[in-house]
Amino acid sequence: MSRAAVYCGAGWGTLISWEPVIFQWLDGLLGFLRSKSEDKTPLLERCLSVDLEVDPKTAEIFDMAAVRFGEGPAVVVAKGNINQGLDQLEKALGTTSHIVGHNILRHDIEHLLAARPRLFEKMAAPIDTLWLNPLAFPRNPYHHLVKHYHDGRLQAGHVNDPERDARLVFEVLENQIAALTELGEQSPETLVAYHYLATRMDRGEGFDAVFTHIRKARQPDRAAAFAAIRALLAGKACGVQVGKAIEALSDPRSGWPMAYALAWISVAGGESVMPPWVRAAFPQAALIVRDLRDTNCGDPACAWCADMNNPVGALKKWFGFNGFRPQPADSAGRPLQEVIVAEAIAHANVLGILPTGTGKSVCYQVPALSLYDKTGALTVVISPLVALMADQVQGMERAGISSAVTINGMLSMPERQDALDRVRLGQAAILLISPEQLRSVSVRSVLAQREVGLWVLDEAHCVSKWGHDFRPDYRYIGRFIREFSGDAPPAPVLCLTATAKPEVVRDITTHFRDRLGVELALFDGGATRTNLTFSVRPTSKESKLGDILTVICEHLPEDGKSGAIVYCATRSETERVAAFLKQQGLAAEHFHAGLTPDDKHSVQERFRVGDLRVIAATNAFGMGIDKPDIRLVVHADIPGSLENYLQEAGRAGRDREPADCVLLYHSDDVERQFTLTARSRLASHEIGAILKALRRIDERTRNSGEVVATAGEIVREEKDREFLRDSATDDTRVKTVTCPDEVVRFQS
C-alpha cells in the first residue's frame, strides 16, 4: 500500500488534520506485513557455497561442488559429470536465498551462466567473500585463508578440491561477519557507510542481507550514508575533496571503490596495503584515496592540506628536526633541502644537485614517508651500491623508522623473501634496490602488487654517459618506469646527485624527456662546502708514506672517535699504506673491492663507530659510509677525475664541523692515471669474446635473435677467459665495447 492510496475517497481538510496519525499507522502496518514475509532462517543457513574448477584454456568447468552451512554432505559433487552437477545445483538453488563464493561475482557465476543461462534468476543475490574481505580486514586484507589474493582463490590444502574450498568459504564468511560486527560496535557509522556503498550496484541483495544481518537494520538512506562518510573522513582528508567524492557517488559504480577507499583510510599509516586485485578490478579506489588525501586544495583554511603538505612539519614528524639545513639555499634564501622536499611532495619531477654531506637522503626520505602515510604508496629508490643501501636502511632504523627495505644480491634467500614479503604486505614505505634488480622476476612481481608513488634515482649522475660513474643499467630505469606504468602517467621522478657537470645535467634531463616525456625541474646547490679546507702538498715515491703519516698526525684529533680516509689508486697501495700506519701504532685498516662481503662490512662498521681511526681505501669506499665526523680525507694519489675528487673529498665534515682535504702530488701519479685509463681499452680478441658470449646467451634463452643482457651476465657467460681477468674491471670492460644506452641489445 502506498501513501497515495490514503488520499483516495477522503476530503483534503480531513486528511491534513489526520495525516501524522495515518502515516504512523500505515508505516507500522507496512513494517508488520514486511516482517511476516521475511525468512527468519539465520543468514548462513539460507546460503549455498559454490566452488568451480575451470580449464584456463577452454574456459570449461571440469569440476564443481556446492555445500550448505554445517557438517552435512555436499549438495553437489560433480566428479567429472558436469551436466549432472549443474542439474543438482539448479535444484539446490531453488531453495536457496544466496549463492556464496570467493570471487564468485567475476568468476564462478560467469562460468555457470555460460554453461546454463537459465540459472540467472536463481543467482540474483550473491555474496562474494573476496569483495567483503578488505572491509572486514582492512589492516591485513590478505585473510589467513586466502591463498592467491591477487586472483581470489582459497588456500585449499589440496589441488583441485572444490568441496573443501566451498566449505572454507563459510569459515571465511563467519570470520568476516564477526569482524564487521565488532567494527560496528566500535564505529556504527562505518557499517552505515559500507551498507549503503556495497548495495549500490546490480546484484547487491546478497551484501544487503549481510549488512542487514549485522546491523539489525535496513539499508540506510542517502542522507544517513553521506553523513556517515563525512564523519569518517573528518580530519583524515581534504574537506574540499570530500565534497567532490560524495558528489561522485551519484554514479552507482563508485560505491565499492569508495568503500575500499574508506577501509584503507581507516588504517592509514598502519602498514597496510590495498589488495592488488582491488586496484586491478576497482582502480578508482586508489584514485579516491589519492584525491582525498594527496591533492592539495591550496585553501589556507583546509587544515588537512596545510598540515600534510608542509615540508618542515613532515621533517619534524619523521626525524624530529625543527628545520632543514640552511645551506645550500636557493636564490630566495630558502634551504634547498626544503625546496626539493616541497616539490617532491607536490608530485613534481625534480633533479636536485646538493654537495656531498648536505643531506640528499632527507630529500627523498621525507616525501617518501609522507606519501606512504597519505596513500600507502611505495617509493622505489635506485642506488648504485649495496653498502649505500644498507646504510640508508640502518640510518632510518636508528631514527626509529622501520619501513625501509633493501633487496640486493648480498641477501640470503630467507632474507630476500622476508624483504619481498614486507614490500608486498604494505610494511615497506621505501624500497632501495640497484638498477639490475629491476630485471629480477621476483622484484617485478612484488612491484606489480604495490602502487608506486615515487621513483628516486640516488647518485643520478650514473645515468649520464658523461658522468664519472656511468652505469649502463641506469639507462634502463626510464624504460622500466614507462613499461611498468602502462597506459597511466608515470609516477614522479626525483633525481639526486652531488656533482653534475652541465653536459651531465643535459644528459639526465634529455634521458627522462625522451623516455618518459617528463621535464625535470633543476635545483642546483653547487658543489661548495664552506666547512672544508683544501690543500695540495708535494710528495715523492720515497717520502709518500711518511707524508701520509705527517698529515694524519697534524689534522686528525688524537682523542675521540673521528676518522680519516686515505684514498689510493690501487688495491696493493691501500694494503701497503694500512700496514705502514698500523706499524706506527694507528688503528688502521685497508678497504677495496677485493675484500669479502663480511670483511667489507666489518671494516665499515668498525670505522663508523670509531674503533678504526684510519681507512686506506680505493674509491670503492665512501658512498656507503654514514660517518659524519670524518675530519680528514687524504688523496695519496691523484684521482681519476675532478668529479671523483669532489665525491671523495666530500666524505669529510658531514657534521658541518671543520675538516681538511689534503692532496699529495707527484708527477709520477699523473702517469699512473694514464696507465689505469689505458687498461680499459679492449683488444680485438676481447671484443670477439663478447660476441661469443652474446651468441651463447641467445642460444640458451631462445630469444628469436634478440638478446637483452647486462654487462655482468655477459662476463659470466664469457668462458674462453679472453678478458684480462680483474673482478674490479670485468664489467667496465664489457661496458666500454657494448652500447652504453640502457643495456646490451644484440641482433644475431
pLDDT (tens digit per residue) in 46-92: 999 999 999 989 999 999 999 999 988 999 888 778 999 999 999 99
**Is 300 part of a structural domain of the chain?**
no
Share of the chain above pLDDT 90, in %: 54
**Is 302 part of a structural domain of the chain?**
no
Q: What's the structural domain count of the chain?
A: 5
Gap between the Cα atoms of 202 and 161, Å rounded: 30
Same domain, 558 and 664: yes
Supply the pTM of this predicted model. 0.76
**Is 44 part of a structural domain of the chain?**
no
Gap between the Cα atoms of 587 and 578, Å rounded: 9
Same domain, 446 and 567: no
Helix, strand, coil shares, percent, the chain, to 5 = 50, 15, 35
Q: Which residues of 593-629 are buried (b: 16+ CB within 10 A; e: fewer)?
A: ebbeeeebbebbeebbeeebbbbbbbbbbbbbbbbeb
Same domain, 491 and 394: yes
Share of the chain above pLDDT 70, in %: 81
CA terminus-to-terminus distance, the chain: 81
Choose the final residue of a domain: 656, 676, 696: 676
Tens of pLDDT along 692-720?
777 777 776 665 556 666 565 666 665 55
The pLDDT value recorded for residue 264 is 95
Q: Is the per-residue pLDDT at 189 higher than 90?
A: yes
115 with 86: CB under 8 angstroms? yes
**Is 417 part of a structural domain of the chain?**
yes
**Is 405 part of a structural domain of the chain?**
yes
Q: What is the mean pLDDT of the segment spanning 554-560?
A: 90
Burial class (CB in 10 A: 0-12, 13-18, 19+), 508: buried
- 146 DSSP β-pair partners: 154
Same domain, 336 and 471: yes
Same domain, 567 and 684: no
Same domain, 514 and 599: no
Same domain, 217 and 289: yes
Same domain, 405 and 356: yes
Q: Which pLDDT band holds residue 473 (cuts at 50, 70, 90)?
A: confident
Choose the final residue of a domain: 617, 646, 676: 676
Same domain, 31 and 57: no
Same domain, 672 and 685: no
CA-closest candidate to residue 138, choices 257, 294, 271, 232: 271
* Domain membership of residue 447 as a residue range: 310-524
Ranges 2-6, 92-96, 143-147, 467-471: which has the least confidence? 2-6
273 with 425: CB under 8 angstroms? yes
Residue 700, amino acid: R
**Is 289 part of a structural domain of the chain?**
yes
Average model confidence (pLDDT) for the chain?
83
Same domain, 666 and 719: no
Q: Is the per-residue pLDDT at 144 higher than 50?
A: no
Question: Which of residues 670 and 426 earns the better pLDDT score?
Answer: 426
Q: Is the per-residue pLDDT at 568 higher than 70?
A: yes
Burial class (CB in 10 A: 0-12, 13-18, 19+), 111: middle
**Is 239 part of a structural domain of the chain?**
yes
Phi, psi of 251 (to 5 degrees): -85, 115
Q: Is the per-residue pLDDT at 666 higher than 90?
A: no
Choose the final residue of a domain: 624, 646, 676: 676
CATH number, domain containing residue 618: 3.40.50.300
Question: Which of residues 197 and 748 earns the better pLDDT score?
Answer: 197
CA-closest candidate to residue 245, choices 221, 234, 266, 229: 229
Tens of pLDDT along 270-300?
667 888 899 989 999 999 999 999 999 988 8
Phi, psi of 158 (to 5 degrees): -130, 150
Calculate the alpha carbon distances from 463 to 83, 349, 474, 555, 730 in Å.
61, 16, 5, 36, 20
Ranges 320-329, 543-552, 620-629: which has the least confidence? 620-629
Q: Which pLDDT band holds residue 503 (cuts at 50, 70, 90)?
A: confident
Gap between the Cα atoms of 449 and 426, Å rounded: 9
Question: Which of residues 331 and 288 earns the better pLDDT score?
Answer: 288
Q: Is the per-residue pLDDT at 344 higher than 90?
A: yes
Q: Is the per-residue pLDDT at 654 higher than 90?
A: no
**Is 304 part of a structural domain of the chain?**
no
Same domain, 164 and 81: yes
